[in-house]
A and B are shown apart, each in its own frame.
Chain A
Amino acid sequence: MTTKKKRSSNTQNDRWVAIAADSAVEASKAGDSGPVFVSLRNPATDAASLYLFGSGDSQLYEVKAFNEDYHSWFVGQAVQRDGRLLYITPMDPLFLLLPYLMKAGKEGKFQPVQQVVMDEDYPACTRLLSCSQIQASLHHVAEEKEVGSQKFHRYSQEKTMEWLKKKVDKTARALKKSNISVGGGVKSMTYIRAKQESDAGEEDYLRYAHGLISDYISDDLSRELLKALGLPEISSPKELEPPSKKRKMSDRPVEAGEDYTKFNSADFARKPPKKMTAAQKSLAKVDKSGMKTMSAFFSPKVKTEKN
């Protein structure tokens, strides 16, 4: 009925629909830079991700987008093709510092953090150090030494694990409180189970929380954390795929994998084609009395006897 519609390439748009805490968007003091979007190294993927610094770089926020096909916005008197909804939510800046601390930690020296947190690709990373939480929370993941008025830090794996375990516990508690389904088999959050999952045990919550936290740390740390939590590793999702159909070599006589005899039985009747077009339907209704069948034209002629 309709011709195929072409979706034009995504044009640059200059506005977004976002949900953010008041604290994220307000400009606090005069002279402050105001909130600003920055691109930083994502600790889990090592690729660029978008973050937001609150006014004066005091607080870090991560930016995630709700993105589903076939959505657009009506904003005031305009239409916005990009139907995404951005969530700007507070985030612990320590997650972003971890990769830098870990890298420097390999040298085994105490260093001032200013010296450690540097990145050619993401120069904005130094701003993380202005976040108000950072100075107070560095001791969760690093050993501290104070010489004179200067502080020196060295990454500590044990401390980090303790810190991450606390994060997992907190997350698990939050999951329970918000009634989030953590059991397997739930595909959609809009699908509501009639029965509350009473069978979701402590381990399910822990594993789910671990998964969530793992989205903010490197693969290696994630595996370490799993061990530290005492959770056995589960098989990778790849193995959930059906096994390959390839037949294994064996000495035993080969048998047919499928039973083809069922096609010979009487109850294997050919089903009529399910859908007919309007033209076929009207053809099917045609009065066929007095018509020869198609095959009659090909069979040898039967001599009709004249009486």
Chain B
Amino acid sequence: MDLGDFEANNSVSCRLSSAIPDVCKTEDCCLGIDEAGRGPVLGPMVYGICYCPVSRKDDLKDLKVADSKTLTEAERENLFHKLDEAKSFVGWALQILSPNTISNSMLQRAKYNLNALSHDAAIGLVQYALDSGVQLKEVYVDTVGPAEKYQEKLSQRFPGVEVTVRPKADSLFPIVSAASICAKVARDHAVKSWKFVEDLGDVDSDYGSGYPNDPKTKSWLLKYLDPVFGYPQFVRFSWSTAQSLLDSKAVPVHWDDDEEDGEKAAARMNCASMLSYFSRGKAQSAAREPHRFFTERRLQNLGTL
């Protein structure tokens, strides 16, 4: 698998895709969606779709695609090659959500959570298939969140396509298994050959699985914690693992959407606290306010340097 497009800039999300097989533009097709790398604190999350004509579903079974979790890495590689060779009737597309994209989405002012991000990645891929002329009739998805709601959302979004959302869909439908293999292979490659945009010198690439409970991952996170910047972009800052380490080990950073309460917050927000109303009238200080030209521009006199 060639991840060159993603590696060129792994700070943003990237789409990779196979050529569209001609049969898929004429015959009714089914499509499977699955993701890899939802839980880890390190590396990208990859969404994958795989599609083929409904009539050729059984050919997929012959390839012995199965749930990617039950396969070894070598077996997955092997199966991906088989899928890629079956390009006469099988197509695939991937959306690689970089860890930086995930961090920024989840930590921005208007929070964009992981479920919404996942749903939108899946919708984007299905739309891509439709836009490319794939005659979609059936879509199978492994669920994210409650299956019923997700199914309703997707059905409404794509009228005329029969959507089936099922937990464990990757072991039930071969087309979903195929998608899960594509996604997992891409994620493995991306993590293994991660190109750090940061200048870290010789990076210790022994970061384990990337899952928060992996001791190797944890010690790697401790090793690469910078007191000012935190982590390289390879780390999902929005994960509580990363955040609690930052809270305890890094320099505190304050943002204006930090939640604070009480007197101090009121002072910050520049509004009078409740308590001040009770002492009103007593302490009318004689000091006069600077002209609004200065206050509007946040300009102050300095007492000392």
B-binding residues in A (CB < 8 A):
1-8, 16, 37, 39, 42, 44-45, 47-50, 63-70, 79, 86-87, 180, 186-189, 208, 211-212, 214-215, 219, 238
Contacts and interface: CB of A to CB of B under 8 A. Distances in A.
Nearest to A70: B256
Contacts of A180: 293
A48 B288 contact: no
B255 A49 contact: no
Given A50-B304, A64-B294, 13 more contacts: A4-B260, A5-B252, A5-B254, A16-B305, A47-B303, A50-B301, A65-B299, A67-B298, A69-B256, A86-B302, A186-B296, A214-B291, A238-B284
Contacts of B296: 186-189
Q: Is the interface of A mostly helix, strand, loop or mixed?
A: loop
A39 B300 contact: no
Interface string B284-296: 1001101111101
Interface string B217-259: 0000000000010000000000010010001000011111010
Closest 7 CB pairs of A and B: A50-B302, A5-B252, A211-B291, A70-B256, A64-B299, A68-B298, A49-B301
Interface of B: 228, 240, 243, 247, 252-256, 258, 260, 268, 284, 287-288, 290-294, 296-305
Contacts of B290: 215
Q: Is the interface of B mostly helix, strand, loop or mixed?
A: loop
B53 to A, nearest CB: 40
A171 to B, nearest CB: 10
Contacts of B256: 69-70
B54 to A, nearest CB: 36
Given A186-B296, A187-B296, A212-B293, A2 B304 contact: no
B247 A2 contact: yes
Contact of A2 (B243, B288, B292, B302): B243
A68 to B, nearest CB: 5
Contacts of A42: 301
Nearest to A86: B302
B42 to A, nearest CB: 20
Contacts of A66: 297-299
B209 to A, nearest CB: 24
Contacts of A79: 228
Contacts of A238: 284
Given A189-B296, A211-B293, A219-B288, A1 B304 contact: no
A189 B304 CA distance: 27
Nearest to B246: A2
Interface centre among A2, A68, A87 (most CB of B within 10 A): A2
Contact of B301 (A8, A16, A45, A188): A45
A49 B243 contact: no
Interface centre among A7, A69, A87 (most CB of B within 10 A): A69
14 contacts: A5-B247, A44-B288, A47-B303, A49-B301, A50-B304, A63-B301, A64-B294, A65-B299, A66-B297, A67-B298, A67-B300, A70-B255, A186-B296, A211-B292
A3 B250 CA distance: 13
B297 to A, nearest CB: 6
Contacts of B260: 4
Contacts of A219: 288
Contacts of B243: 1-2
Given A5-B252, A70-B255, A219-B288, A64 B247 contact: no
Contacts of B304: 39, 48, 50
B254 A70 contact: yes
Nearest to A81: B251
Contacts of B254: 5, 7, 70
Contacts of A189: 296-297
